[in-house]
Structure 1
């Protein structure tokens, strides 16, 4: 990877080897990586992305235990990095880097605890200075993004995130970006300031273009924000395709199932020659890329 320093180490093969000593995971800088998770009470064919659901009481109990362990573990790492962020208050960029390292450690740890088998494709595109966009249908998407986005990446969230206990405060301390979605004029100005900050500090951006989480895993219409960010920053767009996460942790459910997951980084879409008068066209273009690469059960319904 192009990024250097502690953040890259956390995502590197050496760190993977260290993690293997107790997790059984092995993430390398290869285009395809398979992470095998422990499955309980279910027959699974990872080659065909087929698994047999088991909603028996034992599986539900194990799922609840995993979720509780995830929550407690995340609270511990969040507290540790909150202290680090407070020490680094005078150095905003270092706080961004530390926020990414927190994500690499915490995201990978949470995915290990949940135990889903994960296949990662196109990892060679995961070190670009770019605008990373992802489809969103599950809390697991957040864990994966925390783990896999490169050091030097900031996110954009609604300003109310600061009220989320502990995690929201760490988000702000990590110098990530917030926008006021209730005020269109303020939101546009916030996006301009965010684009300027990304360029001036040589950062990448991560954003969910649907703007909200899909209830059934099917792709929702895209908002225009990511195109506006591309027009102002001239960063390429790297689509990240998540498949299976909506089956693993369904919206409104507290039962995490061991469904196989795939994370696919697509080649960067260059935006150097994009013009503001074609915004709608670019939104459709990128949306079509997702529709083409998602399985039938996640493709958008035809209207």
Structure 2
């Protein structure tokens, strides 16, 4: 039923919403239903005011769980996901990703990476932010993996800001290689202030600066008193 709703939203809004912002916001609502319907899953989003409604930006987040997808839809701001190409073949959810014109990527495939970068550039030129997981895959132990260059090269080329996003608590929803949804979770999304890319000229320096910001903020959040 939710996918049928997505088709209806797509059909009604495409003529005047060429960037698919309304359909994306509908998809945000769809994803958040899992939190609305589960009283033991809690989500707190701070710093949403740092996210643009319009204008290019590259959003980067740490990645611990499949639950990160549900959580980041809770941003309720327009953006296009960069996601593993295989996800687009999933029934219903993958079809909705195609309707939203999210950006597919085959990890390790140079041609796919080139296509992903080109498509991401086109969305940024149209004033639509892109969201990427710079670790490339989920962390098995909650520690940040090394960041890949793509998001940072993209921001430098397009001269747009990077907006770091820090997730905590999402590993308790569905961790890497996990098969069971945890019964309770307290998820926190912290959107940090945008970082101007024009102050950087080297991808590696920019990449490590953003990674250091996320590592420090994640440590700060995890040091806060646990919620009951």
Please tell me the TM-score bracket, short chain as reference.
0.7 to 0.9
Q: What is the CA–CA distance in structure 2 between the aligned matches of 1:155 and 1:185, rounded to whole Å?
A: 19
| CA distance 1:187–1:107, change in 2 (3 Å) | same
Q: Structure 2: which 5+ runs fail to align?
A: 224-228
| CA distance 1:189–1:297, change in 2 (3 Å) | same
User: Aligned-pair distance for 1:149?
Assistant: 4.2
Name 2:226's counterpart in structure 1: none
Q: What is the CA–CA distance in structure 2 between the aligned matches of 1:147 and 1:117, rounded to whole Å?
A: 11
User: Aligned-pair distance for 1:287?
Assistant: 1.0
Contact persistence 1:103–1:147 (CA under 8 A):
no
Q: Secondary structure at the match of 2:7?
A: helix
Q: Structure 1: which 5+ runs fail to align?
A: 1-75
Match of 1:220 among 132, 135, 145: 145
Match of 2:154 among 219, 229, 241: 229
Name 2:97's counterpart in structure 1: 171
1:108-127 superposed matches below 5 A: 108-115=32-39, 116-127=41-52
- CA RMSD of the aligned region, Å? 2.6
1:137 and 2:61 equivalent? no
Provide runs of 4+ in structure 1 moved above 4 Å: 86-92, 296-299
| CA distance 1:191–1:120, change in 2 (3 Å) | same
Match of 1:208 among 130, 133, 140: 133
Report the count of equivalent residues.
Answer: 219
Q: Secondary structure at the match of 2:18?
A: helix
Higher relative CO (Cα under 8 Å, sequence separation at least 6) belongs to 2
Q: Please report the TM-score for the alignment, with normalisation by the length of structure 2.
A: 0.84
